[in-house]
Structure 1
Amino acid sequence: MDPARYLSLLPSISGDLPPGARAFATATDHYDFRSKRCVKDLTLRAVRGAGGAEMEVEFQHNCWKHDQDLVIRYSGVTGFVIDPADEDRGTDLGTVVLDEILPHGDGCSHEIACWDGTLTVVCRDLQATWTETGCSDRS
C-alpha cells in the first residue's frame, strides 16, 4: 500500500513509457492518497473489449474522496489478466489499493492491485480520462 518504492523508480523509467502512460503515471495527484485524482479507493466498475486490441476499464468514484470516475482506454493490447483472490469473484476485485505502470517491450504494463485481486494490461499505450459523476456535495 506504500507507493514509495515505485515513486523512487518512476523518474528513471518515465522516459521509457509511452506518452499517455507517462502522463498518467507522473500526474501530480496520482499517488497523493488525499487527492481527488488518486486511484486509491476507486472501484472497478467495468471491463470492455477484453481479449481485443482495444480495451476500456472503468472505475467508479468513492463519494467520500473523489468527485469523478476514471476511464482508462488501452490501445494495442497484447496481454490482459484478471487475477481475483477468489475464483468466484470474476471481475469484482474490490477497491483499488495501488497501481504501477512500467515500460514493456510492447509499450507498457499497467498492474492495478485491488483488495480482492489484480488486473494487469500490457499495451502500446493508454489514455486515462477523469469523468463527471453524480456525486453530491460531501460536506
Structure 2
Amino acid sequence: MEYVNLDAQVGDLSGVLDASRYLKQLPSICRDLPPGARSFVTDTDHYDFRSRRCVKDLMLRAIRGAGGEEMEVEFQHNCWKHDQDLLIRYAGVSSFIIDPVDEDRGTDLGAVILDEILPCRDGCSHEIACWDGTLTIVCRDLQAIWTETVCSNKP
C-alpha cells in the first residue's frame, strides 16, 4: 500500500491501522479515478471502522473470472459488524495478482484489513490487504454492490 499504513505506531502501541495519509491524498487523486472506483472509495463509510459499510473485517468468499477481462470478487459479511455482503465487479482487468502469505492457502486470504484504490494508466489499481495475503487488481473501472444478508449468529 502506498498511503494506507497497516502497521502504524501510536505512542507505545504498534500495529495500528491508519488510513489518514490516504484520506488526505484522496481529494487530489479521486478526480483521476474512474467513476465507479471514485464512488466506492469516497463513500464516507468506507474507512469508518464503526460503519457497516467499512471493508474492514469482510471475508473473501469467491473470485470469479480470474485471468479474464471481467472479474468479480465477492466478500462475505462479518455478523458482528456488517449486515450486507459486498460484490465488486471489475471491468477491463489488465492485471490480477493474489499473494497469499502461505502458498498452500490459495485464495483463502482471511479477513480484509483495509484496501486502497489508486489511479493508474489503465484506470485504477485496487489493493486489498487481508490477514493472510493481498489481492491486487488493475482495471478500467469497478462497481461495488452491497447486498442485504441475514446473520444467523448475530448477538
Measured against the shorter chain, the TM-score band is: over 0.9
2:140 corresponds to 1:121: no
2:33 corresponds to 1:38: no
2:151 corresponds to 1:135: yes
Cα distance in structure 2, aligned partners of 1:49 and 1:5: 33
Secondary structure, aligned partner of 2:44: coil
Shift of 1:133: 1.1
TM-score (norm 1): 0.97
2:90 corresponds to 1:74: yes
Computing the radius of gyration over CA atoms, which structure comes out larger, 1 or 2?
2
Cα distance in structure 1, aligned partners of 2:134 and 2:121: 21
Identity fraction in percent: 78
Higher relative contact order, structure no. (Cα contacts within 8 Å, ≥ 6 residues apart)? 1
Secondary structure, aligned partner of 2:23: helix
Please identify runs of 4+ aligned residues in structure 1 that moved more than 6 A. none
Segments of 5+ residues of structure 1 without an aligned counterpart are: none
> Which residue, out of 25, 35, 47, partners 2:63?
47
Cα distance in structure 2, aligned partners of 1:57 and 1:107: 18
Cα distance in structure 2, aligned partners of 1:52 and 1:138: 37
AA of the residue aligned to 1:94: G
Cα distance in structure 2, aligned partners of 1:5 and 1:97: 16
Segments of 5+ residues of structure 2 without an aligned counterpart are: 1-16
2:100 corresponds to 1:88: no
CA-based RMSD: 1.0
TM-score (norm 2): 0.88
Cα distance in structure 2, aligned partners of 1:67 and 1:137: 12
Secondary structure, aligned partner of 1:31: coil
Shift of 1:126: 0.1
Cα distance in structure 1, aligned partners of 2:22 and 2:109: 22
Shift of 1:137: 8.0
Secondary structure, aligned partner of 2:98: strand
Q: Deviations over 1:20-42 (max 9, x none)?
A: 00000100100000000000000
